């Protein structure tokens, strides 16, 4: 495995706008861009527990940092996610990549992933198109407003709200989305599975041509649990999804 740490993805990147790259030794690999969880107020790109497992399967793993509360405000963390995706799309071939990139994240990072997927001006403003993303993997995202975005708006963070701050808000007839895998957990945060299932059902109802999949994983919220063979459930489901969409 080759590693490249602390790479700026913007010309004037701060220490919160860096990414780490983990690649297989062989070239022409596909790439998984990852955004960590932590409520948009904690966590770190250095939470690289999946890196070795993914690289062993022949994929690159890119873990990107983004600005967070209290220093950042909506939509700055989404702008950072878009800029990181644009950097990876434009530069991963320099590290041996095939150019095929999947965008993923857990919890707060999955919220960022979903906002890139659904509110499509972010990637366009960063200089790339949706067609340049091979697919999206959302690991227990809030499909309604993120609770810390609600707090920023002066609202009770326990509320369920769907407006322009929510991935679900952008579901509409005629919207084209890339292949999308939605994951949640058996013992997830309250309302998270219901939000995921509502998003899935809404896409099926309004955008039935979309290539969208849903799966419940064992364990608690983003628990990084393994199966009897020691394989991470998340990694197994994600790679199965990638192989299915490539077939």
Render each residue's pLDDT in the chain as its tens digit; 247 residues. 999 999 999 999 999 999 999 999 999 999 999 999 999 999 999 988 999 999 999 999 999 999 999 999 999 999 999 999 999 999 999 999 999 999 999 999 999 999 999 999 999 999 999 999 999 999 999 999 999 999 999 999 999 999 999 999 999 999 999 999 999 999 999 999 999 999 999 999 999 999 999 999 999 999 998 988 899 999 999 999 999 988 6
Report how far residue 198's alpha carbon sits from residue 142's, in angstroms, rounded to the nearest whole number. Answer: 11
User: Which residue has 């990181």 as its token pair?
Assistant: 84
Q: Which residues pair with 53 in a beta bridge?
A: none
How far is it, in rounded angstroms, from Cα 149 to Cα 6? Answer: 28
Are 3 and 21 contacting, i.e. CB atoms less than 8 angstroms apart?
A: yes
- What pLDDT sits at residue 247? 67
Between helices 108-118 and 76-91, what is the axis angle to 10°? 70
Residue 48 confidence (pLDDT)? 83
Asked whether the beta carbons of 141 and 194 are under 8 A apart, the reply is: no
| Main-chain phi, psi angles of 3, to 5 degrees | -130, 145
Omega within 30 of 0 (cis) for the link into 55: no
pLDDT value at residue 246: 82
How many domains does the structure of the chain reveal? Answer: 1
Extract the tokens encoding 192: 């998270």
Whole-number pLDDT of residue 134: 98
User: Which CATH number fits the domain that encloses residue 68?
Assistant: 3.40.50.1820
Report pLDDT for 2: 97
Length of the chain measured in residues: 247
Structural domain for 154, as ranges = 2-246
């Amino acid at each position: 495995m080759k590693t490249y740490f602390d790479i700026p993805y913007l010309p004037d990147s701060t220490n919160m706008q860096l990414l780490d790259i983990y690649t297989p030794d062989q070239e022409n690999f596909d790439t998984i861009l990852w955004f960590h969880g932590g409520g948009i107020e904690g966590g770190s790109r250095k939470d690289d527990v999946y890196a070795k497992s993914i690289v062993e399967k022949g994929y690159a793993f890119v873990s990107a940092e983004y600005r967070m509360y209290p220093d950042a405000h909506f939509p700055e963390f989404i702008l950072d996610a878009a800029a990181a995706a644009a950097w990876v799309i434009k530069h991963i071939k320099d590290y041996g990549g095939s150019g095929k990139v999947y965008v993923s994240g857990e919890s707060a990072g999955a919220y960022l992933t979903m906002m890139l997927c659904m509110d499509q001006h972010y990637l366009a403003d960063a200089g790339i198109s949706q067609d340049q993303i091979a697919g999206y993997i959302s690991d227990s995202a809030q499909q309604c407003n993120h609770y810390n975005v609600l707090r920023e708006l002066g609202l009770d963070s326990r509320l369920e709200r769907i407006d322009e701050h929510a991935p679900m808000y952008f579901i509409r007839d005629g919207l084209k989305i890339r292949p999308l895998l939605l994951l949640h957990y058996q013992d997830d945060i309250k309302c998270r599975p219901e939000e995921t299932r509502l998003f899935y059902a809404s896409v099926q109802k309004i955008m039935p041509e979309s290539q969208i999949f849903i799966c419940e994983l064992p364990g608690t919220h983003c628990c990084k649990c393994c199966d009897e063979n020691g394989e991470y459930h998340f990694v197994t489901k994600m790679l199965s999804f990638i192989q299915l969409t490539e077939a």
